[in-house]
């Protein structure tokens, strides 16, 4: 029976493979295309440079040498279920330069598109025979292609075999964790200088027993302590002597007359007595709340060692800002409008009504704003939400279109606007003085 479906190298493909084999270079197979053959089953022709009716071209999903025949190269492409809507009757294999290397026909099959109500993932495979498979680069880009189920299953088997091998080697190794702490030798010695041995509980107990002979921890005030260069054999000082020595410097019982020993003290072994310290502090700030108490300030003018008595300080502050909540209290600010004034709270005013919002500032400043829509070829009047003392400056900001609008007049209480457009116009208005 005559072969109906087959694949062959094109003239260009055969020449490229022969040249690669002769020069020791490689042909880089990159893409596979499918087509409908123009509506009929085509017969592959070595002179072809393209498919008759190409419908889709994409990178290869798999490219490998046949394990049973190293002269056969197997190329595969997966068409996802989201693509389709065409018949597949012809297949083309292209290299990285876009040259058609091999062409084949196949049994007619329709690749549906998921949007048509039916879909499937289609695998297209082409097998070509070459003189030397070493002249072909067997490489694909895993970032842009899909993998067949068989390819994934084979990869899982390889990974499992590799992980099983590593696990067995780990279990069989007598010391697989060489990076961790090694086992160390224990020692009962209490006088060893070894850095590779660890002390046992017995050694630690011996050290504690020896220490307890030098310093009893039960609170005996006459217990002696051993220290280097002690004043007596195995002694530094007993607890009673220590208390006596400290007693000359600072008594913890609260005696305010107890002297403190400080380098360069004013009397022998004493810098300042407690009562002297309290008396000195009392000259600067009494903690009892006495409003007349004076405060020391560096280079304070007059009044001895006081900068300002509290009574004077309160009096000075009282003239600046009343803390009782009186909104008419004066504030002292540079260049105030009147003596000891900057501005009173009631000099700030603001509000809004049906004509817009307004705000009055100290010194007579004022602004008003609103938004309004004016009909085509029409006049409108804006009554200010708060009147001005004189005709203010009015600004118009159009919101839509390329407006032609202007003021027809401005007075202290209102202004006129004319919309010269063929349609209604929405505008923002701002008046200020």
DSSP letters for 352-408: EETTEEEEE-GGG-EEEEEEEEE-TTEEEEEE-SS--SS--EEEEEE-SSS--EEEE
Nearest by Cα to 421 from 380, 375, 373? 375
Instruction: Provide the β-strand partners of residue 238.
Output: 224
Residue tagged 């495979």 (tokens): 125
Phi and psi at residue 359, in whole multiples of 5°? -150, 130
End-to-end CA distance of the chain: 105
Residue 165 has a pLDDT of 81
Could you give the CA distance from residue 208 to residue 203 in angstroms, rounded to a whole number? 9
Could you give the CA distance from residue 378 to residue 295 in angstroms, rounded to a whole number? 75
Q: Are 168 and 176 in contact (CB under 8 A)?
A: no
Phi and psi at residue 110, in whole multiples of 5°? -95, 130
Residue 1 has a pLDDT of 59
Six token digits for residue 94: 């292209």
Q: One digit per residue, pLDDT tens: the chain, 433 residues? A: 578 999 999 999 999 999 988 898 999 999 999 999 999 999 999 999 999 999 999 999 998 888 888 888 899 999 999 999 999 999 999 999 999 999 999 999 999 998 888 889 999 999 988 876 566 655 444 444 444 555 555 655 766 677 778 778 878 887 777 766 566 778 889 888 888 788 899 989 888 887 766 544 445 555 554 444 445 544 444 545 544 554 444 444 455 555 544 444 455 445 555 556 555 555 544 445 565 655 554 445 555 555 555 555 555 555 444 444 555 555 444 444 554 444 555 567 899 999 999 999 877 899 999 999 999 999 999 999 999 999 999 999 876 666 789 999 999 999 999 999 988 999 999 999 9
Strand blocks (E) in 114-236:
122-129, 136-137, 185-187, 197-199
Six token digits for residue 74: 């197997």
Residue 260 has a pLDDT of 46
- Number of neighbouring beta carbons within 10 Å of residue 168: 10
Express each pLDDT in 150-168 by its tens digit: 555 565 576 667 777 877 8
Q: Are 75 and 63 in contact (CB under 8 A)?
A: yes
Residue 132 has a pLDDT of 61
HEC string of 39-82 equals HCCCCCCCCCCCCCCEEEEEECCEEEECCCCCCEEEEEEEECCC
Residue 183 has a pLDDT of 65
Q: Are 278 and 259 in contact (CB under 8 A)?
A: no
Could you give the CA distance from residue 133 to residue 92 in angstroms, rounded to a whole number? 18
Express each pLDDT in 254-295 by its tens digit: 555 555 444 444 554 455 555 565 555 555 444 455 656 555
Residue 240 has a pLDDT of 53
Could you give the CA distance from residue 136 to residue 415 in angstroms, rounded to a whole number? 87
Could you give the CA distance from residue 16 to residue 28 in angstroms, rounded to a whole number? 10
Could you give the CA distance from residue 330 to residue 343 in angstroms, rounded to a whole number? 8
pTM of the model as a whole: 0.36
Q: Are 392 and 432 in contact (CB under 8 A)?
A: yes
Six token digits for residue 430: 């701002």
Six token digits for residue 364: 């007579």
Phi and psi at residue 238, in whole multiples of 5°? -90, 170
The answer for residues whose C-beta is within 8 angstroms of residue 425's C-beta and 6 or more apart is 373, 374, 376, 398, 400, 401, 403, 405, 419
Q: Are 407 and 427 in contact (CB under 8 A)?
A: no
Six token digits for residue 389: 């003392």
């Amino acid at each position: 029976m005559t072969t109906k479906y087959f694949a062959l190298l094109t003239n260009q493909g055969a020449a490229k493979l022969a040249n690669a084999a002769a020069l020791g270079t490689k042909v880089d197979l990159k893409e596979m295309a499918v087509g409908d053959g123009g509506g009929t089953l085509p017969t592959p022709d070595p002179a072809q440079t393209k498919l008759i009716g190409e419908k889709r071209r994409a990178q290869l999903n798999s490219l490998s040498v046949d394990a049973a025949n190293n002269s056969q190269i197997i190329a595969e492409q997966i068409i996802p279920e989201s693509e389709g809507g065409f018949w597949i009757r012809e297949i083309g294999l292209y290299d990285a330069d876009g040259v058609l290397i091999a062409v084949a026909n196949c049994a007619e099959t329709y690749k549906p598109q998921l949007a048509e109500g039916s879909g499937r993932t289609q695998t297209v495979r082409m097998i070509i025979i070459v003189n030397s498979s070493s002249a072909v680069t067997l490489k694909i880009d895993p970032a842009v292609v899909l993998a067949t189920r068989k390819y994934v299953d084979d990869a899982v088997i390889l990974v499992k075999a590799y992980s099983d091998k590593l696990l067995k080697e780990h279990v069989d190794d007598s010391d697989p964790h060489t990076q961790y702490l090694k086992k160390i030798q224990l020692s009962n010695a209490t006088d060893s200088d070894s850095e590779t041995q660890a002390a046992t509980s017995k050694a630690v107990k011996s050290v504690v027993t020896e220490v307890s002979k030098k310093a009893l921890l039960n609170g005996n005030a006459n217990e002696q302590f051993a220290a280097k260069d002690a004043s007596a054999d195995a002694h530094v000082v007993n607890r009673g002597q220590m208390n006596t020595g400290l007693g000359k410097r600072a008594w913890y019982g609260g005696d305010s007359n107890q002297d403190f020993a400080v380098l360069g003290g004013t009397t022998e072994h004493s810098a300042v007595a407690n009562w002297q310290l309290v008396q000195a502090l009392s000259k600067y700030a009494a903690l009892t709340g006495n409003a007349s108490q004076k405060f020391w300030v560096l280079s304070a003018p007059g009044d001895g060692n006081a900068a300002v008595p509290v009574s004077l300080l309160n009096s000075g502050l009282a003239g600046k800002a009343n803390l009782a909540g009186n909104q008419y209290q004066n504030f002292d600010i540079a260049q105030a409008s009147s003596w000891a004034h900057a501005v009173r709270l009631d000099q700030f005013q603001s509000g809004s009504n049906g004509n817009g919002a307004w705000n009055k500032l100290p010194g007579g400043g004022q602004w008003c704003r609103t938004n309004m829509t004016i009909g085509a070829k029409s006049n409108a009047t804006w009554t200010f939400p708060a009147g001005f003392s004189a005709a203010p400056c009015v600004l118009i900001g159009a919101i839509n279109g390329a407006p032609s609008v202007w003021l027809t007049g401005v007075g202290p209480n209102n202004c006129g606007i004319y919309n010269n457009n063929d349609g209604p116009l929405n505008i923002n208005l701002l008046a200020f003085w």
